[in-house]
Amino acid sequence: MDKVENANKEIQSPLSFLKNLLIARWRSLLLLLIGVYLPLQVFEILTVKIWENQAGFPWDVPILLAVHSTANPELDVLAVTLAIIGLPWTAIPILGAIALILLLQKRWRSLAYLLTTSVGSVIINRTAKQLMHRVRPQLWQSIAPESSFAFPSGHAMTSITVVAVLLFLTWDSSRRWLLLIFGSLYIIAIAWCRLYLGVHFPSDILAGWMVALGWTIGVSLIIKPARTIATVDGERPEDETTLLPEERLITKE
């Protein structure tokens, strides 16, 4: 009788259920809002504005000219070097080596996250460039000119994707804060070099950041690479090679 009464109380208390659900999932919901919705919303706003006006935003040209005003031979060398380091093609060997390590360690979930985010990032970038057809800035003769379309920046998307993958794969490690600091500096440096070389508008960079951030965090919420926790003796976490409870339920349907 008591069980029946308790069951009836639970059925008659949807607000209580909703409250408990939100309390249990508030971290995921907050991450969904800040890490996925807001970046994609910013990307949408940028896309619509540039679709309506290819010239971009009033702050695009002044920022480019301000960065260009610092030009000197030493910075020229640094910018070209960073541009090469930040190339999407340069990231392939790095991500490939990480993928091979994950494959040998049989960390299937982490491998799935790496492949999904990196391949998806390339597809999103190529598709957006072809749809938008935004030409690159032509304010001065660049020392490292580009011929492809500008929006969104492939370098910006690649830098975010690489850092996000490394960060999620080391989330349970004490080194994640060090990676976060140096990764942030790397992302900013790559963005600076694209502006310094005059091959991207600031809005191209911002759009690349936003869509890559929303994509990498969104995929992490689905695949959950940070859900797995390394054991003390260094053995592979079981969740890396087995489905989570909610995933098992879906596959049985």
Question: How confident is the model over 87-128, as pLDDT tens digits?
Answer: 888 888 889 999 999 888 888 888 989 999 999 999 999 999
- Please calculate the CA angle 141-130-61 and round it to the nearest 5 degrees: 35
In this prediction, residue 13 carries a pLDDT of 66
Q: Work out the average pLDDT over 178-203.
A: 92
CA pair distance 36, 213, nearest whole angstrom? 7
In this prediction, residue 240 carries a pLDDT of 63
- Contact criterion met (CB below 8 Å) for 227 and 28: no
- pLDDT beyond 50 at 230: no
Q: Which among 108, 90, 55 is positioned nearest to 241, based on CA atoms? A: 108
pLDDT bin (cut points 50, 70, 90) of residue 11 is: low
DSSP per-residue letters across 27-84: HHHHHIIIIIIHHHHHHHHHHHHHHH-TT--TTHHHHHHHHHTT--HHHHHHHHHHHH
In this prediction, residue 144 carries a pLDDT of 85
**To which residue do tokens 């850092």 refer?**
163
- pTM for the structure as a whole: 0.80
For 47-51, 98-102, 159-163, 173-177, which range has the lowest pLDDT when averaged over its residues?
A: 173-177
Tokens in use for 115? 């492949």
- Which helix H or strand E contains 15, and what residues bound it? helix 14-24
- pLDDT beyond 80 at 201: yes
Tokens in use for 74? 């030493």
Q: Work out the average pLDDT over 72-101.
A: 90
Q: Of 4-13, 23-32, 132-141, which has the strongest mean pLDDT?
A: 132-141
Cα of first residue to Cα of last residue in the chain, in angstroms, is 33
CA pair distance 29, 33, nearest whole angstrom? 6
Helical pair 176-196 and 202-223, crossing angle rounded to 10 deg: 150
- pLDDT beyond 50 at 253: yes
For 20-29, 53-62, 146-155, 201-210, which range has the lowest pLDDT when averaged over its residues?
A: 20-29
